[in-house]
Structure 1
Amino acid sequence: MLYVVGLGPGSKDNMSQEALGVFDKVDTVVGYITYMHLVEDLIQGKEMVTTGMRGEVERCEKAIELAAEGKNVAIISSGDAGIYGMAGLIFELLKSKDQKLDVKIIPGITASVAAAAALGAPLMNDFCHISLSDLMTPWEVIETRLEAAAKGDFVICLYNPRSKGRPHHLRKALDIMLKYKSEDTVVGIGKDVDRSKEIEKVTTIKDLDEEEINMTTVVIVGNKNSYVYDGHMVTPRGYTL
């Protein structure tokens, strides 16, 4: 059996009971080395296979290989394994090899949901996720999606918003949104959510400080009805009160 496990945003408090229980069932754990550190006390005595950044294909291929040998294997992702995680790649590789394997996806709390809880209630109406990383998706496609989401007045959760290699993508994204959203639109920032250096901040498109944003940050851009109450970002559901 191959388990694809979402670890949640960081702490064990926000890991599901199902995810915690998987580690008692498996012989081998495969993962990015940084994520392995998050569960190191749970995987003592297990065979561990690690790779560095951008080793996703290698990790998934190794996990499939070990599971095909008859081992019970867990491959881990931060957040939810099915949201920018390993679940899709596992199935893509199996399809490319025309290989059958017992696979179970273990869901986890994704970064936007964890950030939303820390910020207040920003996701109470329709929202979407858009990654600003163009490593997998051409920037022209990302721009089209940003335009559509902003025009539709979705609350927009931006993953991978800014990095040293892509320092201007967040600014480009905000400029696209400003064609449809006010510069006073509320923005929530969740950085290193559920980890020791967690930062939550509520600001606006106009006042957002891009230098505060990095790859461990989720930026939640509100819709036209989002507001701030007592320091919390809130998007109303639409109840008549």
Structure 2
Amino acid sequence: MRIRSLLILALALVCAVVVPPRAHAQNAGYGVTVPVSDTSDAQRDHAFAVALGDVLTRTAGASITGASGYTDALGTASSLVQNYRYLRAAAGASRPFLLQVQFDPAAVQELAGSLQKQLAAQNASAVAPTSAASAAMPGASAMSRQDATLWVAPMQSGLDLPQLLSVLRANPQVASVEPIGADGDGVMLRLHARSAISTVLPSLQASGHLQRDAVDHPGADVSLRWLR
């Protein structure tokens, strides 16, 4: 009996050790660390929006960025934050602080599901017009496309990224655009154009919101300044 009691006690201790890490792992996908220049409200709100975009992409897939409500969703990032804290970045880092953000898993899943439904509805409504256009223009499907990586800075508030995406998606020469990374006050975007990027750039600058940056950002095909 004593041996049996010891085995039961040992099993209970093992369960007590195993369960917490498993519970922590369930929420691991809803935490993001974003480099920031300072601890101001503007930098924090921008980091929240960037972090939420990362979490939504992991939760529902990159295609979710095409949903009509995606940019508005990024603007509500602060309301989904469960907790956050600042850490000092490693010596020599380009940004002196790291902001660790943890989102509410249930809230993120609900938002991701809503955006997926929006996207499905958009795709369904676009089927008929697209088919008609293809029939009228036999060579449309062979239209030349080019992908480009854009670096845009500075992003100074949580509203800048949603506004930037709205400006880019409103351009008729832009097929799609989605955030793929961030560093401090800038954001890296993947842009899918309907024509050569050399043709698209002048129209982007003509909007008055963007201009070519004299210094190219590492890893970007094109670096732009966000003028708002």
Q: TM-score range by the shorter chain?
A: under 0.3
Larger Rg: 2
Greater fraction of residues in helix: 2
Normalising by structure 1, what TM-score? Answer: 0.18
